[in-house]
Amino acid sequence: MTKGILIVDDASFMRMMIKDILTKNGFEISGEADNGINAVEQYKELNPDLVIMDITMPEMDGIQAVKEIKEIDQEAKIIMCSAMGQQTMVIEAIQAGAKDFIVKPFQHDRVIEAVKKALN
């Protein structure tokens, strides 16, 4: 039973872009959040199969949110989104427990590849 994917980004157009890529490829979206605090709350509520999370957000950044989600669920699957030039933050996110990362602007094939890899 698929629980879907939680999309977390403070920019609504980015969430829309990711949602569009995923739904066109048959993935189900379980929810959306616009910052790390909401991401953690949504995770508790929805228990999604996968989280796609931006690194840089207000309230709580993606790295802190990854740490908190991993405390709730060791098995949580999280893919980080980063803009170019955020390599150090990506490394930090991976160390915090993220499975993979995708770079903005999103390449459709790379997004789908990362999602399939994380879900398997």
Q: How many domains does the chain have?
A: 1
**Full-model pTM:** 0.93
Assess whether pLDDT exceeds 60 at residue 1. Answer: no
How do residues 4-51 score in pLDDT, each as one tens digit? 999 999 999 999 999 999 999 999 999 999 999 999 999 999 999 999
Tokens describing residue 62: 């993606």
C-alpha to C-alpha distances, 106 to 14, 40, 44, 76, 111, nearest whole angstrom: 9, 24, 27, 22, 7
pLDDT band at residue 2 using 50, 70 and 90 as cut-offs: low
Residue with more model confidence, 82 or 65: 65
pLDDT of residue 89: 84
- Residues 8/84/113/53 CA torsion (nearest 10 deg): -10
Rounded (5°) CA angle 82-88-89: 45
pLDDT band at residue 77 using 50, 70 and 90 as cut-offs: very high
Share of the chain above pLDDT 70, in %: 97
Q: Give residue 35's domain range.
A: 5-119
Q: Can you tell me whether residue 54 is helix, strand or coil?
A: strand
d(CA 12, CA 71): 27
pLDDT of residue 105: 83
Residue 21: closest CA among 113, 93, 85: 113
d(CA 76, CA 79): 10
Instruction: Tell me the average pLDDT of the chain.
Output: 93
Q: What is the CATH number of the domain that holds 112?
A: 3.40.50.2300
